[in-house]
Amino acid sequence: MAEVKFGWLSPVIGNRWSDHKPIVVHQEQHILPTVVERFDSLWIADHFYGMDAKTDPFMEGWTTLTWLAAKFPGVLLCHHVLGHGYRPPALTAKMASTLQVLSGNRFMLGIGAGWREAEYLAYGYDFPKPSIRFAQLEEVVEICRLMWSEAEPSFSGEHYSIDGASASPLPDVVPPICIGTSGEKVGLPLAGRCADMWHGFARTPDDWRRKLEIVTASAVGAGRDPADIEIATTVERPLPETDDQSEELLGLLAGWVDLGVQHLVMDFGHPLTPEHVYRFAEQVMVPLKAR
């Protein structure tokens, strides 16, 4: 079994718990220097405004991740996850290739079909039905991979096309693609066919097993080895502050690993100091990686 990996989700929102200052700005100064020495990846959400009030600060995802890439040169970078409809496919491919080159091959394209209809409409974007959004997403993935590997590729699909689009300089390492989805009819089969990483959610172990089986079966049907797809999920919990809390969180995360999760993205909210990051690393990460 491959060693489990850990990701850190840094919130880009500012809310009443952070005095309406973007949490990622506080974390960049006080938390992330400790995090990046211990975690494998750093994740940033892609929305344009928050879940409570539009007036709450909410940092744009591409800009923020690029800023962090320059600040912290040794960690994998990924969005959690991009809504593909927010940016034209060729632009997404160009931005991704640029960040891959500038970061020294540390970027992974986290992308999905989008879900927040009100946000799409507020910014003047179309929001078609799910089957169309996922068909579009599949074309986005194909366009990205073409533009990352060919000098002047062309593509003509049902939804998108390019004609000699260039993403030069081409990256030395083609960015892996993480598809975030939990939809059993369309999204999960797409992840099985196309993803280098699948990021999913489930309410129960049985729910997760069923979803994972759909991804696996789809990969086999597409002639892929399911082992080539890294499995990820996000766990939202506070950092442990006591030995007992560490033991409880270790048990929870070990359960996810036993269900096949290989990359645990941790959402710890707004810790004010790195004190409990040390505890989590020593009492949860180390024993779980050693299993």
Using one digit for the tens of pLDDT, what is the confidence trace for 122-163?
999 999 999 999 999 999 999 999 999 999 999 999 999 999
The number of helix segments (H) and strand segments (E) in the chain equals 11, 11
Provide the strand spans (E) within 147-189. Answer: 154-156, 161-163, 177-180
| Side-chain-side CA neighbours of residue 254 (13 Å) | 14
DSSP SS3 for 223:
coil
Res 1 pLDDT > 80: no
Query: By C-alpha distance, which of 262, 264, 263, 260 is closest to 249?
Result: 264
Using one digit for the tens of pLDDT, what is the confidence trace for 162-174?
999 999 999 999 9
Distance from C-alpha of 158 to C-alpha of 135, rounded to nearest angstrom? 9
Distance from C-alpha of 3 to C-alpha of 14, rounded to nearest angstrom? 34
Distance from C-alpha of 133 to C-alpha of 113, rounded to nearest angstrom? 5
Percent of the chain scoring above 70 in pLDDT: 100
Domain layout of the chain by residue ranges: 5-289
Using one digit for the tens of pLDDT, what is the confidence trace for 232-263?
999 999 999 999 999 999 999 999 999 999 99
Q: What is the pLDDT of residue 15?
A: 87
pTM of the model: 0.96
Cα–Cα distance list, 91 to 88, 95, 98, 162 (Å): 5, 6, 11, 11
Using one digit for the tens of pLDDT, what is the confidence trace for 85-102?
999 999 999 999 999 999
**Does domain 5-289 sit in CATH 3.30.70.2860?**
no
List Cβ neighbours of 202 (8 Å cut-off, separation of 6 or more): 182, 208, 211, 233
Res 51 pLDDT > 90: no
Res 16 pLDDT > 90: no
